Every structure is written in C-alpha cells, then in structure tokens.
C-alpha cells in the first residue's frame, strides 16, 4: 500500500505493521492447513492460536488508524478472519474424523 504524502510517520509505520501482521497471519493459517493435511493436529492448533493473537494485534492497530488508511486494511483483515475461521473448521472436522 502506498502512503499519501502528508500522513504522519507513525500512521505510515502503523500501516506497515498491519500489512506485515496480515502477511504473517496468512502464513500461519497456511501452516495450520498443511498440518491438518498431515494429521498434525497439535501443530495446527498452535498455528491457529498464534494467527488469532496476530489478528488481535491487527484489530488493535486498525483501531488507531484514520478511516482513509483503515478501510483497505479492514478489508484484508476481514478476509483473514474468514480464512482463520475456515481453517478452524477444517481442523475441528479433522480432529473428529481422527477420533
């Protein structure tokens, strides 16, 4: 995401941090999905827990941004939320099948 001229440095840094957190959380979801596929439920649960923690950080940072910067990032966060929820569903189903 480009940063408009005139925005305070702290806002630009906050945007960069949110973008990095979103990328990290999506990677954790991917790791969890791969672990589910390999039958490693413990690792999948840990990766999903960490993705949830990162998502909480994202929400906190988004709350501190102005509407102009927050809107596109909020859309990314919503997509991340869907992916985390879907991965949790897959994990839950895999655990039930394994039982």
Domain of 76: which CATH number? 1.20.58
- How far apart CA 62 and CA 56 sit, in angstroms, is 10
What pLDDT is attached to residue 99? 73
Two tokens at 81?
């939320």
What pLDDT is attached to residue 78? 97
Q: Answer yes or no: is 1 within a domain.
A: no
pTM: 0.88
What pLDDT is attached to residue 59? 96
- How far apart CA 93 and CA 98 sit, in angstroms, is 9
Average pLDDT over the chain reads 91
Q: How far apart are the first and last CA of the chain?
A: 45
How many domains does one find in the chain?
1
Contacts of 22 (CB under 8 A, 6+ apart): 58, 73, 76, 77, 80
Q: Answer yes or no: is 76 within a domain.
A: yes
Residue stretches of the chain with pLDDT short of 50: none
């Amino acid at each position: 995401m480009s940063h408009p001229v005139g925005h305070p440095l702290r806002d630009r840094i906050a945007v960069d941090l949110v973008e990095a957190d979103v990328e990290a959380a999506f990677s954790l979801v991917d790791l969890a999905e791969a672990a589910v596929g390999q039958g490693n439920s413990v690792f999948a649960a840990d990766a999903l827990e960490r993705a949830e923690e990162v998502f909480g950080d994202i929400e906190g940072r988004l709350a501190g941004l102005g509407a102009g910067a927050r809107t596109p990032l909020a859309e990314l966060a919503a997509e991340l939320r869907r992916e985390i929820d879907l991965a949790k569903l897959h994990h839950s189903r895999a655990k039930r099948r394994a039982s």
